[in-house]
Amino acid sequence: MKYELPRENDQQHFMSIIEKMSGQNIRLCYQCGKCSAGCPICHEMEDSPNQIIRYIQLGLKEQALSKNTIWLCASCQTCSTRCPQQLDLAKIMDSLRILHQQESLQQNIPFSTSAKDFGHRFYNSLLNGLQMDVRSNVNAFSDLFLKMVRHYGRQFETGLIYNYNVNSGFLFSNVLKGPMMLMKAKINLIPEDVKRREKVEKIFSKIEQLEKSEKEKR
Amino acid sequence: MARIGVFVCWCGSNIAENVDVVEVARYAATLPGVVHSVDYKYMCSDPGQKLITDAIRTQHLDGVVVAACSPRMHEVTYRRTVATVGFNPYLFEMANLREHCSWVHENKAEATIKAKNLVRMMVEKVKQNQPLYQIQIPVTKRALVIGGGIAGIQAALDVAAGGYEVILLEKDPSIGGHMAQLDETFPTLDCSQCIMTPRMVEIVQNPNITLYSYSELDALEGYIGNFTAKIRKKARSVDITKCTGCGVCQQKCPAKVPSEFDEGLSTRGAIYVPFPQAVPNKPVIDREHCIKFTKGKCGLCEKICPAGAIDYNQQDEIVEEKVGAVIVATGYDLLPKDTYAEYGYGQYPDVITSLQFERLVSASGPTNGELKRPSDGKIPQKIVFIQCVGSRDASQGRSYCSKICCMYTAKHTMLYRHKVPKGEAYVFYMDIRAGGKNYDEFVRRAIEEDKAVYIRGRVSKIYLQNGRMVVRGADTLIGGQVEIKADMVVLATAITAPKGIDKFAQKLGVGYDLHHFLSEAHPKLRPVETNSAGIYLAGACQAPKDIPEAVAQAGAAAGKVLGLFGGKNLCREPIVAKVNESTCIGCFICQKACAYGAIEMKGLKDRKGNVIKVVASVNTGKCQGCGACTATCRSNSIELEGYNDQQIYAQINAIGFTND
């Protein structure tokens, strides 16, 4: 592996973007690795959390944004709690995800949960030996999560699971857990009724409006 | 009319490059009162100094201004120069043309004008100068050393070797400190006890040293050369003149108390000698745990003592000692047990501190040197050592490096492998700090010869799996997590300042830093002195230190004390505050402003001896010449010698006056 380090100005630039977004001083990190040591998902990550911070310190934006690490991070905050330098890593991971989303939107690589994309992803997942495309799946999940809330006024878990499995291409993942969860009333077959659903819709359209005007400003 | 000589220095090119020194000298000659003005390339050199002394003789000068560098640099040099020809050194002043002028300005023409102003101000000031004379303070030539660890012992022995009396104060029943607890020491693996205990015996044998063990300092009054220490000899409940040290009492004592010396790995009685090699080897009764004192029953030790030395009614005794200098060697503590829940410190019995590990491998320890783990006495086959526990950790409020842990952890891996040749030693580290003679070689030896596995990363947590501890950490060099099933975990816990040391430092008037380590007067040039004259530092009370450093610093502190005691009297600069007793109204606001406690009350008496007025009086031994009192005095009755109002006003007035 060989990285060409960006010029100092570019390094500073990337670091300061993340610092501004997360409110954290990235320079505080002295690479002790306690974040990675405590991370419950570290074993699934392409790069460990401390390596992601290192990329930011060196201004290696591509590396920081392209790894599955930032999408696997569950924001459990074990790292933030144990960091001896009191860095809030979960916040930094959040910022990286936001930055990634913003940039893909700018480059017009919108993410959608449409049927056309589903076919593509299903095909891809077969092609890659049933390896999940983490990034789009995380996106799909977030997207569907909000869609459910918008549509039903609150979360409808069964609908979310169904839609997610269809979208991710893993049709039967976790299906066997369904009956047990139904029996324990953890999930429901019929969505719960929520009063004044239109108010939730109002919130969502307001956010959409804001996002649109923000985009036009840019 | 004044006869003043001005001497302008080039300082090579340091001043001359940015200031027209020839022009400054020419200008100075035109100032009223100046009869002699020259410039020279290096005024501090021998020929430069000769220019000054010759001019004093031939021109009969009554004031000298040297326009050169900062007084910090060469004021002492020139004072000595003028004094060689019998000229009062306080009729000499320096104008700082280097730090205040040439070094900080780029425009030569403007810098030259400023240089002229600086010279003119000093010429006006020196006209107001009065001859001053060094203050002689008598010195009590006895030293007080506080703390009987290796630093305190070394300092006491060194001062005593100089032929002066030393009082050594130790709060615990025995001297020896932490070093007496250690097994072998890095980087030579020589036995700590073998090099420590002879020193402890020397303390008792040395006729110049008085040892107060189980004693604390209640108060320290006075000033450099003339301190009065109030020492509280805590009640031992044992008459040590009668006690023969037979040890029957501590064997029979029914109370069981965790032993401080063994770091809680064994128990002691309530009447106890901390360890067999203790000095003095006489027991004390720990009244907090003694059944006689807590419940009023028992009294067994009194019944069985063949010498009749037990005295339950003994009281604390206050002793006053006059000393001239104090060496503080109060040492360190370790991180409290309740920190680091994720490491299970205090929760899992086999998670121990490094000092506990020392006791476990020590021949004088609770297992007689056999390495058995605390929970079940089994020999651990796999030990994980974790460095930087509590140090370099801003979230715990300790950002400093504990300094000695890298070395002793390497040592521990060696000791472990020597005791358990098939054992596995893992070390989690962030950085290896092995700066010292033969130190890095030592760490390499632990890795290369004694096969310790070093893992670069921190540990996140220790948890139990099927009754076995699992250490989960990161290896940042491979970029992932590692898990090790361990039989024992040793935490290299941070050195911390002893609890309550801040109150103690306030008692002495010594500064301390954010982490409560005592502050030296200057980090480079005055490393063993404190800001309170006559009080010196030795050992880990100042910052984390290993044994060689503590010993070196103790020797240095002793050297300072010997230097102080070497002269007949203590000579002090006469730059001190002086009270005008006729105008002082005795409000004592100055007393509050004084950071050094130098303002005292003085009663003015009439002929019959009645006190008619109480005024402020300056203790010239304590006064540091800061001038805080002069600025706060409401009746303008205190002046700083050498910097009185006339002198300062003359300087200020000279700024507005030019004769160009």
Please provide the DSSP assignment of B296-339 as one string.
Answer: S---HHHHH-TT--B-TT---EEEEEEESEEEE----EE--TTS
- Classify domain B4-132 at the CATH topology level: Rossmann fold (3.40.50)
Angle between helices A157-168 and A115-127 (to 10 degrees): 60
Residue of B393, B428, B432, B458 to mutate, interface with A, max A Cβ within 10 Å: B458
Residue A97 lies in a domain: yes
- pLDDT score of A122 more than 70: no
Amino acid at A31: Q
Measured at the CA of B265, the angle between CA B259 and CA B271, to 5 degrees, comes to: 20
- Report pLDDT for A117: 59
Give how far Cα B88 sits from Cα of B14, B52, B83, B134, B137, Å: 29, 13, 6, 10, 20
Q: Of B155, B625, B218, B186, which is closest to residue B412 (Cα–Cα)?
A: B186
Look at residue B186 and tell me whether its pLDDT is greater than 80: yes
Stretch among A4-13, B169-178, B354-363, B481-490 having the lowest mean pLDDT:
A4-13
Give B304's contacts (C-beta < 8 A, 6+ positions apart): B248, B249, B252
Does A16 reside within a domain? Answer: yes
d(CA B462, nearest CA chain A) in Å: 10
pLDDT above 70 as % of chain B? 99
A21-63 pLDDT tens trace: 999 999 999 999 999 999 999 999 999 999 999 999 999 999 9
E strand intervals along B97-174: 135-138, 142-146, 165-169
A192: domain range? 115-217
A80/A132 same-domain check? no
Q: Are residues A59 and A119 located together in one domain of the fold?
A: no
Is it true that B142-332+535-566 and B334-496 share their CATH fold? Answer: yes
In a domain, residue A139? The reply is: yes
| B577-641 CATH fold | Alpha-Beta Plaits (3.30.70)
Which residue in the set A28, A34, A39 is minimally distant from B458, CB to CB?
A: A34
Neighboring chain A residues of B461 at a CB cutoff of 8 Å: 37-38
Query: Directed axis angle between helix B354-361 and helix B405-419, to 10°?
Result: 30
A70 and A30 share one domain? yes
Q: What digits encode the pLDDT tens for the residues B376-417?
A: 999 999 999 999 999 999 998 999 999 999 999 999 999 999
Could you tell me if B390 lies within 8 Å of chain A, comparing CB atoms? no
Q: Are residues A29 and A97 in the same domain?
A: yes
User: Is B481 within 8 Å of chain A by CB?
Assistant: yes
Average pLDDT of chain B is 94
d(CA B157, CA B177): 16
Report how many domains make up chain A.
2
pLDDT above 60: residue A130: no
In this structure, is residue A3 part of a structural domain? no
Tell me which amino acid residue B470 is: V
pLDDT class for A123, splitting at 50, 70, 90? Answer: low
Whole-number Å distance between alpha carbons of A45 and A72: 7
pLDDT at B23 over 70: yes
> Sign (positive/negative) of CA torsion B495, B500, B506, B507?
negative
pLDDT confidence of residue A192: 85
Contact A36 B459 (CB under 8 A): no
Q: Which of A96-110, A121-135, B638-652 has the lowest mean pLDDT?
A: A121-135
Does residue A146 share a domain with residue A211? yes
Residue B334 phi/psi, 5-degree rounding, is -105, 160
Mean pLDDT of B282-286: 94
Residue among A37, A43, A78 minimizing CB distance to B457: A37
Question: Is A32 within 8 Å of B475 when comparing Cβ atoms?
Answer: no
**Burial classification of residue B231, based on how many CB atoms lie within 10 Å of its CB (0-12 exposed, 13-18 middle, 19 or more buried):** buried
Given its phi and psi angles, is residue B475 left (phi above 0), alpha (psi -120 to 50 degrees) or beta? beta
Nearest CA distance, B428 vs chain A (angstrom): 10
CA distance B170 to B150: 12
Instruction: Give the distance from residue B392's alpha carbon to the nearest chain A alpha carbon, in angstroms.
Output: 8
Whole-angstrom CA distances from B468 to A147, B373, B386, B393, B487 are 47, 13, 17, 28, 7
A133: confidence class by pLDDT, cuts 50, 70, 90: low
Nearest Cα residue in chain A from B461 = A38
CATH of B142-332+535-566, one of 3.30.460.80, 3.30.1360.120, 3.40.190.80, 3.50.50.60: 3.50.50.60
A1 falls within a domain: no
One domain for residues A95 and A63: yes
Q: How many CB pairs under 8 A join A and B?
A: 74
Per CB-CB distance under 8 Å, the chain B contacts of A35 are: 460, 474
Whether A18 has a pLDDT exceeding 60, the answer reads yes
Tell me the chain B residues in contact with residue A52 when contact means C-beta distances shorter than 8 Å: none
Pair (A173, A94) in one structural domain = no
Residues of A in contact with B460 (CB under 8 A): 34-35, 37-39, 78, 82
**pLDDT tens across B365-375, in order?**
999 989 999 99
Q: How far is CA B373 from the centre of its chain?
A: 38
In this structure, the answer to whether residues A13 and A99 fall within a common structural domain is yes
Strand partners, B454: B427
Q: Do A121 and A189 fall into the same domain?
A: yes
Q: Do A37 and B395 lie within an 8 Å CB cutoff? A: no
B478 at interface of A, judged by CB pairs closer than 8 A: no
What pLDDT band is residue A114 in, cutting at 50, 70 and 90?
low
Q: Any chain A CB within 8 A of the CB of B470? A: no
What average pLDDT does range B637-652 have in this prediction? 93
Residue B550 has pLDDT above 60, yes or no: yes
- For chain B, which residues make up each domain, given as ranges? 4-132, 142-332+535-566, 334-496, 577-641
Last residue of a domain, one of A59, A83, A106: A106
The SS3 call for residue A208 is: helix
| Dihedral, CA of residue B403, residue B409, residue B411 and residue B412, to nearest 10 | 150
Decide if A2 is inside a domain. Answer: no
Are residues A35 and A101 located together in one domain of the fold? yes
Q: DSSP secondary structure string, B56-108?
A: HHHHT-SEEEEEES-HHHHHHHHHHHHHTTT--GGGEEEEE-IIIIITT---H
pLDDT, one tens digit per residue, over A188-199 is 888 888 888 889
Q: Which residues contact B523 (CB under 8 A, 6 or more apart)?
A: none
Asked if residue A200 belongs to a domain, the reply is yes
Residue B656 confidence class, pLDDT cut points 50, 70, 90? confident
For the record, the structure tokens of A82 come out as: 């144990």
Q: Residue B179 — pLDDT band, cuts 50, 70, 90?
A: very high
Tokens of B484: 């090790």
Residue type at B191 in one-letter notation: C
Same domain assignment for residues A71 and A96: yes
The last residue of a domain, from among A106, A132, A150: A106
Helix H or strand E encompassing B357: helix B354-361
Please tell me what DSSP assigns to residue B403: S
Q: What is the mean predicted confidence (pLDDT) over A140-160?
A: 88
pLDDT at B158: 98
For residues B595 and B531, the answer to whether their CB atoms sit within 8 Å is: no
Do A54 and A126 fall into the same domain? no
CA atoms of B292 and B288, how far apart (whole Å): 10
Q: Do B479 and A51 touch (CB under 8 A)?
A: yes
A110 pLDDT exceeds 60?
no
**B343, B455, B481, B482, best to mutate vs chain A, most A CBs in 10 Å:** B481
Query: Is B372 an interface residue toward A (CB < 8 Å)?
Result: no
Q: Which of 3.50.50.60, 1.20.1250.20, 3.30.70.1350, 3.40.190.10 is the CATH number of B334-496? A: 3.50.50.60
A37·B460 Cβ contact <8 A: yes
Instruction: Calculate how close chain B gets to A63, using CA atoms only, in Å.
Output: 14
